[in-house]
Amino acid sequence: MAETRALVIAPDEASADALLGLVPAELPTELVVLDVAADDLTPATRGLPADRIVAVPQLPATSDAEVAGPFLRERVASAQLVVLDSSQAGRDLAGWLAVTLDLPLVWAIDALRQVDGHLQADRVVLGGTYRLVHEIDPGTPSLVLGKPTQPASAQDRPRSAPAEVVEETGEAGVSRVRVLESPDGEIEGVPLAAARTVLSVGRGIGGPDNVDLFRQIAARAGAALGASRVAVDSGWVSFAHQVGQTGTAVAPDLYVAFGISGAIQHLAGMRGSGSIIAVNTDPEAPMCRLAEIVVNADAIEVAEGLLKRLANR
Amino acid sequence: MDTTTPASGTTIAVAVKHVPVGGAFLRVQSGGLTRDGVSHGIDPLNEVAVEWALQAREAGAADRVVAISLGPPAAVDALRRALAMGADEAVLVTDPTFAGADVRATARALAAATERSGARLLVAGYESLDGSSGAVPAAVAASLGWPLVSRFSAGAIHGGALRATRDLGAGPTTIEVDLPAVVSIVEGHVTPRFPKLKDVVRTRSVQPTTYSGADLGLSLPTSGERVVDLVEVAQPPREPTILDLEAGIEELFARLTQGASRG
Ligand SMILES: Cc1cc2nc3c(=O)[nH]c(=O)nc-3n(C[C@H](O)[C@H](O)[C@H](O)COP(=O)(O)OP(=O)(O)OC[C@H]3O[C@@H](n4cnc5c(N)ncnc54)[C@H](O)[C@@H]3O)c2cc1C
Ligand SMILES: Nc1ncnc2c1ncn2[C@@H]1O[C@H](COP(=O)(O)O)[C@@H](O)[C@H]1O
């Protein structure tokens, strides 16, 4: 039987670490990282447990599927397990590849393992109370949209040799979507994927004017700023900050939720966190049931006190 | 408004999914997951898509809105909701062999039905309520060979092109795409109308145009993957420590600075 080869397609280096953490350690693995030149890869990325790392500077992380797809299709066609991230661009690329290469697709996968030569993929359902186990036919290449919970760098993975690092350019597709106006500047702060500390805000922080307080705390604590969908849909913070089923999946050592109720779709993106602290005026909120510590107080009062403490450190 | 291309003749299709609503998306029944016994209805996000299409029609940018669904015969409920809101026609793709259709099969069926409808724009939701892949719109676009604009919040059709705002994570971006195209919409900007009672009554017994897989020339791909087990995850009972304002600030301060000194 042909050896199972895994291919991980990551939109950035943090996601590369996170997604690689899903791949069964024994599989030979090629890692493609978009939007970065080989020379700019961090030592941490170079040290990840992959056999080969392919840097693709020409493709931005949010490339349209019809741009990234043609570039990646050969590589995808020759792998047996293809792991992509669950961002919108990742889902779009997966949908394009599924139809173009006629491949099955499984999604919201938080664990992959090999059992007697079969690949099994777990999807958490019903708010984390059950896992649905998929079995993928041997020899059938398949696409996996990952919801990683433990980055490769946080696992103790044996490595035989350092990864071979290459940079590739090639034939990408042309997008038929014309960009007329794009936001200026980068998303500020620590990226969510693979952040070790995440500080998230929800409806309970009251409004857009209060977001800055939390940005300042996050900056001082070296934490990434996360948000619930309510905070995103209300326009308080941009979609890049959304944690959850539709947003980014995170599994930091510490997750602090300010004024977030803990809807199933939010928990889907953070339930794998090491410690959870909920700051909520309602100690009965679902988030408080998951938390190790509940701060039963007003989110803004807590944030103001905390920022003062951090500033006087 | 651009008048170089007359709007007349433009059909917008809207992909509406019949999903479990009201919290419980699935139930465990004899060791498997089932949708039986869970109440179903149109995905609320698809009502947003229908509303956007109706507003485009009312603005004169289209003259026909067709709601399309793939699902069991009961999915007609979702289509009737779209009709009651004001959609002109409804199409149901239903076929027992499509039960459990994967992303590829779903996309091909929706693509074929979209083509039949004569639409030049297919509006979908960015993700289904029942925790699906969120990959169907892209897969439909690939099947049709049309460009995809995902996660748009607002937009209008002008002279054969759609101009819209979307956010893929880098912030709101204004884009333009020539039709035909597939787009997926997010919540937050368009509020669906509530159908009038008389329209609900009027559409209650309307039968949609119905296609089987064979009618559309489709055969299901061998899926390549199947669900083999449903495992209950043990939920360790957690007794959280409850802190008040002062103690909470101290605890957070300690935890956050501990993290900072480590890394
Ligand atoms: C298909 C689909 C996908 C979704 N994807 C996501 C996703 O990716 N991410 C996501 O987050 N959501 C997602 N949602 C939405 C989700 O269902 C919830 O609506 C959302 O997470 C709720 O956000 P929230 O906790 O900020 O608001 P709420 O549920 O309104 O909770 C606010 C909380 O703040 C507390 N509070 C109020 N005042 C204060 C105060 N002064 N101080 C402290 N606490 C206070 C309240 O007690 C409450 O617990 C999705 C929904 C669907 C249908
Ligand atoms: N069976 C279906 N019938 C009609 N539309 C669907 C179906 N499945 C998915 N869609 C459309 O695709 C969007 C995203 O769904 P999904 O990719 O399954 O999460 C939905 O909001 C619908 O617009």
β-pairing, B27-29 with B225-232?
Answer: unpaired
Predicted confidence band of residue B4 (pLDDT cuts 50, 70, 90): very low
Please tell me which residue of chain B has the smallest CA distance to A140: B224
Predicted confidence band of residue B101 (pLDDT cuts 50, 70, 90): confident
pLDDT at A191: 79
Q: Does B150 contact ligand 2 (Cβ within 6 A)?
A: no
**Are the beta carbons of A135 and B171 separated by less than 8 Å?**
no
Is B225's Cβ below 8 Å from some Cβ in A? yes
Choose the mutation target among B104, B252, B253 for the interface with A, i.e. most A CBs under 10 Å.
Answer: B252
Choose the mutation target among B19, B45, B103 for the interface with A, i.e. most A CBs under 10 Å.
Answer: B103
pLDDT at A72 over 50: yes
- CA nearest to B85, candidates B185, B187, B186, B194: B194
Q: What are the tens digits of pLDDT across the range A17-29?
A: 999 999 998 899 9
- B151 CB neighbours in chain A (<8 A) are 88, 239
Distance, CA of A213 to chain centre:
25
Q: Does B17 contact ligand 2 (Cβ within 6 A)?
A: yes
Average pLDDT of the segment spanning A198-223 = 96
| Ligand closest to CA B129 | 1
pLDDT at A109: 94
Is B133's Cβ below 8 Å from some Cβ in A? yes
**Residue by residue, what is the 3-state secondary structure of A129-197?**
CEEEEEEECCCCCEEEEECCCCCHHHCCCCCCCCCEEEECCCCCCCCCEEEEECCCCCCCCCCCCCCCE
pLDDT at B80 over 80: yes
Give the distance from residue B154's alpha carbon to the nearest chain A alpha carbon, in angstroms.
Answer: 13
Average pLDDT of the segment spanning A207-230 = 95
- CA nearest to A90, candidates A179, A167, A193: A193
Predicted confidence band of residue A117 (pLDDT cuts 50, 70, 90): confident
pLDDT at A185: 62
Average pLDDT of the segment spanning B16-24 = 81
Predicted confidence band of residue A81 (pLDDT cuts 50, 70, 90): very high
Ligand 1 mutation pick, A242, A243, A266, max ligand atoms within 8 A of CB: A266
Please tell me which residue of chain A has the smallest CA distance to B136: A95
pTM exceeds 0.90 for this model: no
Q: Which B positions 171-190 lie with beta carbon below 8 A of chain A?
A: 171-178, 181, 186-188
pLDDT at A272: 80
Is A116's Cβ below 8 Å from some Cβ in B? no
Report the alpha-carbon distance of residue A305 to residue A311 in Å, rounded: 10
Q: What percent of chain A has pLDDT over 90?
A: 69
pLDDT at B29: 67
Task: Give me chain A's average pLDDT, please.
Answer: 91
pLDDT at B39: 82
A74 Cβ contact partners less than 8 Å away, ≥ 6 residues apart: none
pLDDT at B13 over 70: yes
pLDDT at B22: 66
Q: What are the tens digits of pLDDT across the range A171-199?
A: 889 999 999 988 776 666 777 877 889 99
Predicted confidence band of residue B245 (pLDDT cuts 50, 70, 90): very high
Give the distance from residue B70's alpha carbon to the nearest chain A alpha carbon, in angstroms.
Answer: 17
User: What value of ipTM does the predicted structure carry?
Assistant: 0.88
pLDDT at A23: 95
